[in-house]
Structure 1
Amino acid sequence: MRTRYLLPIFGLFLFQNLNSQESSGTVAVPKKKYVTKRMKTLPEIDGVITDQAWDHLDWGTDFVEKAPDEGKPPTYQTKFKIGYDDKYLYVALRAFDDEPEKIEQRLSRRDGFAGDRINVIIDSYHDKRTAFVFTVTAAGVKGEELATQNGQDWDASWNPIWYTDAVVDDKGWTAEMKIPFTQLRFGKAEEQVWGLNINRTFFREQERSLWQRIPNEVSGFISEAGELHGLKGLKSQKQLEIQPFTVFQYDTYEKEGSNPFRDGSDFSVNAGLDAKIGITNDLTLDLTVNPDFGQVEADPGAIALDGFQIFFNEQRPFFVENKNIFDFRFANGPDNVFYSRRIGRAPQGGVSLNDGEFADIPINTTILGAAKFSGKTRDGWSIGVLETLTSNEYAEIDNNGNRREELVEPLTNYFVARVQKDFNDRNSYIGGIFTSTNRNLNDDLSFLRKAAYTGGLDFRHEWHNRDYFIQSNVVASHVTGSKESIQATQESLTHLFQRVDASHVEVDPNRTSLTGTGGRIFGGKRGGGNWRYWAGVNWRSPELELNDVGFLRQADEIRQFASLRYLWQVPTETYRDASVRLRQLSSFDFEGNYNRMEYSLQGNINWINNWWTELELTHKPRIFLNTFLRGGPRWRYSEENFMVLFFGSDQSKKFNFRVGYIKSATEQNNFSFTRYVLGLNYQPFDSLNASLTTEFTENPNKTQYVNEADFGAVKRYILGNIDQKTWSTTLRLNYSINPNLSIQYYGQPFISRGRYNNFNYVNNSIAKDLNERVTWYGDNQIQQAPSGDYLVDEDANGVTDYEFSNPNFSFVQFRSNLVARWEYIPGSELFLVWAQGTTGNVDSDRSLLGGLNTQILDNTLENTFLIKATYRFL
């Protein structure tokens, strides 16, 4: 279907009821209160709520739909009881269902959140911004989340120790919970008042209902919870958990000639310790010594032709837990003052090898130890302190049996401190962050910065029942090092002080430090009625540098952005809910160059049958890049139009799918981008889930950067017409024998191939007409040598003026993990892991499938076998 037909069809449903759905004003909802009592006897946590221990407690009920039909009675009611003793909070849950045979009892790993389930949401701080969420499914699978930012962020990495079970009966299903007070955070008041809400997901109808009603138009979630009363005489429960671990690892791979470091196999034994200590009932100290992350899923395949670093999400448990406290985003995209993937990174130094020498270079830097002090006090202080030490890393070099070492990564200390304070009845906060990176350098690694420091302040204020907000932050950075390291920083792709047409920056080879700033201010309306809007500006000065322990893609930018959104929140016969959004942004550099203008229209519909559709149309009339020519002049791309269309089926069904189509096109066919996405998910029975996602991308570009060369006194920036194709498939299989024993498989082949022809060079980099922007080489000006290199005789006088290497490539990666996980007692686990993989380059003349066969099927894959055992002492 052509793009011009999609918008009217999509808009027909979006705009049909605009006037009828206008809100008449904020709905006033009284706060519910549940009064708990001390337990007289204790129940057995088996999911059956017939124990007499529950009899003296009152039922809480009268749940109200949250979705799809907010404010209406749910299909089936839910009720609960809550009791406590000196050490535990006890919860009994009853979910009524007249068709219990249809209850979805899907097994999954912990935090799978599949099937019918209930979330118990506890704001024990009662700060109206933060909550501990305990989830149990009808199959007895547990899950936990830490909800922050008033419900805007839900972190499933939190893994407390608690107890639960569930059973299905002729009335529906029931569940019990036993939650240690050591896993919660609360103050010292004689009588506690906590925030409380219970959320039930009625899976086959994709229906949610809440004990405390929260109208859709309200901007908050945690702040709108009901209250739990009656908690009297609670004593601070100091948490102490110690978890040693042992890892046995065996690696096999193809032997590499006479390389003594690649003889076909390796065996190692490793051990370490994790600990969690409750300093107060609000604040926790986490410690790790020689942490192991061997069971962590591999990063997905990716390749970037623009030269920028690729952002990967953190997956290591120690850094993932409580990551929300340390988060300090200040601009667009992934830019953040703290990026934990810097800690334990691959060594940054290289080695010098003579003929006949071999080197063994560590893959990652060893984390000797780390400590994390974090939490939130009852009076509104959020505190996070992280201290980490990574070791000297050496490459071992063999010269015919004689060994020597070369330092490739220095002893480094990373420090992060984060604090926020709530005030104004939790409607406002002010906070700050400080980070430092200090390296113990010698002359061999003088290209690295010796020290890096950043500091930041942030502020947010909400008013009118939290419907309106204004938020701001500011960051300053200071890096120091040798003249060599600071010059390298100035000339890096993030900064490009050497840009030939930039008058506001220049490379100073004598500098030994850089100081820069960045920040953001924005505000708007995010609750009340059906309209949402916000606008703001962010900036990153040319000298801002965060990449020692943060993430910064590009400095030297000022970006303005605005968004206007309308929501349809009342279901009709056609849809459950829908929204449409208009977005605009523009950007400038610090010299005042107007680099970008972009408009987009986005919409989504959740249909009445639980299918969904998302559409985005983007127009980019102005695109200038300061970084495209890697130090050359600003580059202009042709005007671009962009479309994204995704749709999918009901995710509650045993089989569901999603399909995506992304298309970009430019004037004069400068470049284009086409991506096809197909995702399939199948649950053949409750204990097995299979998902398959495949993506295919075509990205031809007439002016892809290749290299630069000197033509006399003139600098030539060489570009080429690239035909780039990328394909990947990700397979996930999860088989759960019971809620504590599961087997998981992850596998992803990835290939990206680029073939170049029709080379050209930059003529007028900012010309609107592509034919004025570049000049194509004639047949008599360029030829390919037998070596594969290209020889350029630009003046056609029979003498080679310059040359460049053949840029064709075909990059292949395969990663897979087979993990058996057994939580044999709460908090203690046994992992059996088999990982396979390969990474390499193949002949670009081969097809995509042929390249995969060459690298994966025709080669010996590297194998890693792990046995990891942990035991948690409480």
Structure 2
Amino acid sequence: MKSNQLFLLPFFFLGFLSIQSQESEKPDKKTYTTTAVAHENAPVIDGLLNDAAWETVEWSSGYVENQPDNGTDPTEQTKFKILYDDKNLYVVFRCYDSEPDKIVKRLSRRDGFEGDWVEINIDSYNDDRTGFSFTLTAAGVKGDEFISNNGNNWDSSWNPIWYAKTSIDAEGWVAEMRIPLSQLRFGNEQEQVWGLQSTRRYFRNEERSLWQPVLPNSPGWVSEFGELRGLKGLKPQKQLEIQPYGLAQVDTYEKEPGNPFRDGSDSRFTAGLDAKIGITNDLTLDVTINPDFGQVDADPGAIALDGFEIFFQERRPFFVENKNIFDYSFAGNQDNLFFSRRIGRSPQGSAFGPTTAYVDSPDNSTILGAAKFSGKTKDGWSVGVLESVTAKEYADVVDVNGDESEVQVEPLTNYLVGRVQKDFNDRNSFIGGIFTATNRSLEDNLMFLHDNAYSGGLDFKHNWQERKYYVEGSAVLSQVNGSEAAITRTQRSIVHLFQREDAGHVSVDETKTSLTGTGGRFEIGRGGGGNWQYNLGGNWRSPELELNDLGFLRQADEIRQYANVRRFWNKPTSWFRRARLGFNQFSSYDFEGNFNRIQYEINGNVNYINNWWTDFGAAHKPRIFVNTTLRGGPRWRYSDENFWYLFSGTDERKKLSMVVGYVNSRASQDNFSLDRYEISFRYQPLNALSLSLLAEYEQNPSKTQYVSQQNFNGTTRYIMGAIDQETLSTTLRINYTINPNLSVQYYGQPFIFRGRFSDFNYVNNPIAEDLNERVTLYGANQIALDGNTYHVDEDLDGITDYSFGKPDLAFVQYRSNLVVRWEYIPGSEIFLVWSQGITGLGEASNDFDTIIDNQLLSERPQNTFLIKATYRFVL
């Protein structure tokens, strides 16, 4: 009864808050009217205000402070002018500064946004949801982002071709831009009206001022823009860009005697092509043939003892650009119908057999080609279609007799994603859909994979009362088809675990050749306006839902309810600039109706008057049942948990800044605990040089870490143990920017994980509240270690009943990248890359110092040297 009362608290709280929000009057919409200029009379982009063309239009000013003190006069005022011709949009800013010698001109790579900067946002669709952002720093560094979802997504991977210069004089600084119309998207009306916003960062006061004032906690960004008028006779521009590349690469590594595949070095030469073709002004076709992403940072080190797949962010430029169009997250931050890292994934088959001596298997599947058709029409249709084909992959094998052969480890695979959304109701609502398909050409040794997999979904969102309130939802349907072995494998996977012995609603059916599942989400809340925001919602994933052929699904068979409330303080006081406090609650069930989890959390952050900051939070978890801990065994109960965290940082504008953080978790009866320590430093001794260092150390002991399953007198013994696990990682980044087009970057991360087991036990009553009833410890005379194997004589009859391997583990990894990037002309680049890597297993009985010495410093790393050149043809 108590749990039901707690469950109802969010409803009463939301009802109370619905009458508490204080309204502010929305600022009037501002308008700027531009005029056309003949192309031959257009301004020269040199950062100076000496072109006669600028005299044909008026300045617009009246910027208003947005942060920290919304609605007040800024410390320094800003003004701008806008012109256009038949090919370009021209913008000039005058950023006043009474102390021009103190203007901060920090260099960085593109999209660095360091120091003083000024920005223009253009909603050329005039749809109140999407926009194009162009930022220029006082040092002349460009930044550009595609804005979507009314400002909730800013895609910095969008890299249009445009031109800009800056200069500093006695009045402050000047920024001048030329933006080709081919880089924007707009309709063909005789007279256009575009959304317009401009932001200036006044670095010394960490102050943001806006041309079009926006209230704190506004329900969106693009929907609050002013207007740009006077655009007459513009003709939509069709974009056509072709970017071929060539690459030479050499890998060196320690020679392995006897292994023909590890002779000390490898080399390759390859070429490919990227193209961007404007089908219409609204819709673009992106094509890549034999893409290479050798200059992309490696994934950070990570270890998962829970059996689940680790989620890594997409880093490859072709898939990152416009990724928001294809996004379809529906039940959490990671669960998504489209996870682009499935394309070009590591081969899923294995070439190892009983007579295998050596294997050379590819690291990733080759992407033969990919095409992406995307854009948004003036009628409010957002469209995205992605098609990709990956090649058959073979591993070279040498057996114990010296005979060579090939074994297929990944089939020829076709991936397809289609996404569409339609705005209506004066852009306050949309409805959309998605379809994905994976089709494989399978051979005998890969029949454990699905022949094909399909998923689809519908989503919607409706805003009302000037977008303050919203309701949104989605629904998902999936189907996978394959051999009986493939579908049985899916049913038994960690995502599904149909073999759970205490589950009455699922069971393994080894005759099935398909699975069909559903999922979805529904949420209603207040997303903007006033000082309060809140929402209430729920999501579900049915037991047979399967998305991992082209999407990402961590776990099926869950129904979740959640509620969130946030209170904002945006008016600066004598000690803070702004602050937030939130309350979150969720509970979850499986499809059998088991009440598995409930959690209450309070969190917040404060930005102090000196620009230091603090993030904090705490949570109580009175009920934790997990269906996956015993890997197909019965539902498992963890002791109730409390956790809290505190992170704080200094002013990030200073040449030296730092962040320290601590996370603490404790379960009752010492079932498990967590202590996580983080400290980071960022130092910028020169405008062109920045260094950052992040060190993380974590202790995460548990008395009930899953180890193995063994048969004992016809029953299954679920064996667990006490683990003492520690993780240590350090990430170093060095950025040296010679000029906005030439930079040197270094990234290095050593990662060490160590887990040592003791106090082995077996599950007695998996849902008992008392930990001592949940498990039974082996006595000293019941278990013995022989080499790397534990032997158990549970009934003490002098005969070993079962055995399991010693689970102690030490994992060591070091990865680094040194990249020289030169954009020798706009859109065309040369990369020089040196990568190093060490990956291996250490000795868990050693301390960290010995592991670092033996498995890191004493090992010879693998080195990769490559040079990659691209040239961007704009036709």
| Superposition TM-score tier, normalisation by shorter sequence | over 0.9
Paired position in structure 1 for 2:243? 243
Structure 1 residue 346: Cα displacement: 0.3
**Does the 8 Å CA contact 1:368/1:389 hold for their aligned counterparts?**
yes
Structure 1 residue 855: Cα displacement: 1.8
**Does the 8 Å CA contact 1:132/1:146 hold for their aligned counterparts?**
yes
Counterpart-to-counterpart distance in 2, 1:844 and 1:52: 74
1:57 partner letter: V
Counterpart-to-counterpart distance in 2, 1:842 and 1:352: 23
Paired position in structure 1 for 2:9? none
Counterpart-to-counterpart distance in 2, 1:645 and 1:391: 48
Counterpart-to-counterpart distance in 1, 2:516 and 2:217: 44
2:280 partner letter: T
Pick the aligned partner of 1:38 from 24, 28, 36: 36
Counterpart-to-counterpart distance in 1, 2:352 and 2:830: 42
The alignment status of 1:666 with 2:664, answered yes or no, reads no
1:679 partner letter: S
Counterparts of residues 154-553 of structure 1 (less than 5 Å):
154-353=154-353, 355=355, 357-399=357-399, 402-553=403-554
**Does the 8 Å CA contact 2:21/2:532 hold for their aligned counterparts?**
no
Counterparts of residues 700-739 of structure 1 (less than 5 Å):
700-739=701-740
Counterparts of residues 755-766 of structure 1 (less than 5 Å):
755-766=756-767
Counterparts of residues 634-653 of structure 1 (less than 5 Å):
634-653=635-654
Look up the SS of the partner of 2:445 in the other structure.
helix
Structure 1 residue 172: Cα displacement: 1.2
Counterpart-to-counterpart distance in 1, 2:193 and 2:404: 66
**Does the 8 Å CA contact 1:457/1:473 hold for their aligned counterparts?**
yes
Look up the SS of the partner of 1:55 in the other structure.
helix
Structure 1 residue 355: Cα displacement: 4.5
**Does the 8 Å CA contact 1:105/1:116 hold for their aligned counterparts?**
yes
Counterpart-to-counterpart distance in 2, 1:23 and 1:306: 43
Counterpart-to-counterpart distance in 1, 2:132 and 2:523: 29
Structure 1 residue 157: Cα displacement: 0.8
2:292 partner letter: D
Show CA shifts across 1:439-467 (max 9, x none): 00011100001100000000000000100
Paired position in structure 2 for 1:50? 50
The alignment status of 1:805 with 2:800, answered yes or no, reads no
Counterpart-to-counterpart distance in 2, 1:207 and 1:110: 22
1:483 partner letter: E
Structure 1 residue 127: Cα displacement: 0.3
The TM-score normalised by the length of structure 1 is: 0.97
Counterpart-to-counterpart distance in 1, 2:98 and 2:693: 34
Structure 1 residue 483: Cα displacement: 0.2
Counterpart-to-counterpart distance in 1, 2:848 and 2:308: 25
Counterpart-to-counterpart distance in 2, 1:173 and 1:797: 88
Structure 1 residue 401: Cα displacement: 6.1
Q: Which runs of 5+ in 1 are unaligned?
A: 1-18
Counterpart-to-counterpart distance in 2, 1:211 and 1:795: 80
Q: Superposition RMSD on alpha carbons, in Å?
A: 1.3
Counterpart-to-counterpart distance in 1, 2:186 and 2:176: 22
Counterpart-to-counterpart distance in 2, 1:53 and 1:849: 67
**Does the 8 Å CA contact 1:26/1:218 hold for their aligned counterparts?**
no
Look up the SS of the partner of 2:296 in the other structure.
coil
**Does the 8 Å CA contact 1:150/1:222 hold for their aligned counterparts?**
yes
Distance 1:23 1:483, change over 3 A: closer
2:405 partner letter: R
Structure 1 residue 50: Cα displacement: 2.3
Counterpart-to-counterpart distance in 2, 1:133 and 1:329: 25
Pick the aligned partner of 2:25 from 20, 24, 27: 27
Counterpart-to-counterpart distance in 2, 1:307 and 1:22: 45
Aligned residues: 855
Show CA shifts across 1:617-654 (max 9, x none): 10000000000000000000001001010110111111
Counterpart-to-counterpart distance in 1, 2:515 and 2:678: 43
**Does the 8 Å CA contact 2:659/2:679 hold for their aligned counterparts?**
yes
Counterpart-to-counterpart distance in 1, 2:357 and 2:763: 42
**Does the 8 Å CA contact 1:828/1:870 hold for their aligned counterparts?**
yes
**Does the 8 Å CA contact 2:600/2:620 hold for their aligned counterparts?**
yes
Look up the SS of the partner of 2:838 in the other structure.
strand
2:549 partner letter: D
2:139 partner letter: A
**Does the 8 Å CA contact 2:22/2:531 hold for their aligned counterparts?**
no
Counterparts of residues 79-118 of structure 1 (less than 5 Å):
79-118=79-118
Counterpart-to-counterpart distance in 2, 1:768 and 1:191: 71
Structure 1 stretch 35-44 or stretch 474-483: which is displaced more?
35-44
Counterpart-to-counterpart distance in 1, 2:605 and 2:405: 61
2:36 partner letter: R
**Does the 8 Å CA contact 1:479/1:545 hold for their aligned counterparts?**
yes
Look up the SS of the partner of 2:506 in the other structure.
coil
Counterpart-to-counterpart distance in 1, 2:356 and 2:292: 34
Counterpart-to-counterpart distance in 1, 2:402 and 2:872: 44
Paired position in structure 2 for 1:606? 607
Show CA shifts across 1:539-575 (max 9, x none): 0000000000000000000000001111111111111
Structure 1 stretch 846-855 or stretch 70-79: which is displaced more?
846-855
Show CA shifts across 1:840-867 (max 9, x none): 0011111123212212210110000010
Structure 1 residue 51: Cα displacement: 2.1
Paired position in structure 2 for 1:133? 133
Show CA shifts across 1:464-521 (max 9, x none): 0100000000000000000000000000000000000000000000000000000000
The alignment status of 1:826 with 2:837, answered yes or no, reads no
**Does the 8 Å CA contact 2:121/2:197 hold for their aligned counterparts?**
yes
The TM-score normalised by the length of structure 2 is: 0.97
**Does the 8 Å CA contact 1:436/1:451 hold for their aligned counterparts?**
yes
Structure 1 stretch 40-49 or stretch 729-738: which is displaced more?
40-49
Structure 1 residue 354: Cα displacement: 5.3
Counterpart-to-counterpart distance in 2, 1:570 and 1:298: 42
**Does the 8 Å CA contact 1:111/1:143 hold for their aligned counterparts?**
yes
Counterpart-to-counterpart distance in 1, 2:797 and 2:241: 78
Counterpart-to-counterpart distance in 2, 1:26 and 1:868: 54
Counterpart-to-counterpart distance in 2, 1:353 and 1:596: 43
Structure 1 residue 176: Cα displacement: 0.7
Paired position in structure 2 for 1:576? 577
Structure 1 stretch 825-834 or stretch 841-850: which is displaced more?
841-850
2:537 partner letter: G
Paired position in structure 2 for 1:858? 858
1:661 partner letter: Y
Look up the SS of the partner of 2:637 in the other structure.
strand
Structure 1 residue 221: Cα displacement: 1.1
Distance 1:673 1:387, change over 3 A: same
2:299 partner letter: D
Counterpart-to-counterpart distance in 2, 1:800 and 1:23: 69
Counterpart-to-counterpart distance in 2, 1:846 and 1:49: 67
Show CA shifts across 1:329-358 (max 9, x none): 000130000000000000000013454732
Counterparts of residues 114-125 of structure 1 (less than 5 Å):
114-125=114-125
Paired position in structure 2 for 1:4? none
Counterpart-to-counterpart distance in 2, 1:111 and 1:866: 24
Percent sequence identity over matched residues? 61
**Does the 8 Å CA contact 1:584/1:598 hold for their aligned counterparts?**
yes
Structure 1 residue 218: Cα displacement: 2.1
**Does the 8 Å CA contact 1:205/1:652 hold for their aligned counterparts?**
no
Structure 1 residue 398: Cα displacement: 3.0
Paired position in structure 2 for 1:3? none
1:34 partner letter: Y
**Does the 8 Å CA contact 2:352/2:359 hold for their aligned counterparts?**
no
Structure 1 residue 26: Cα displacement: 2.7
Paired position in structure 2 for 1:7? none
Counterpart-to-counterpart distance in 2, 1:523 and 1:680: 40
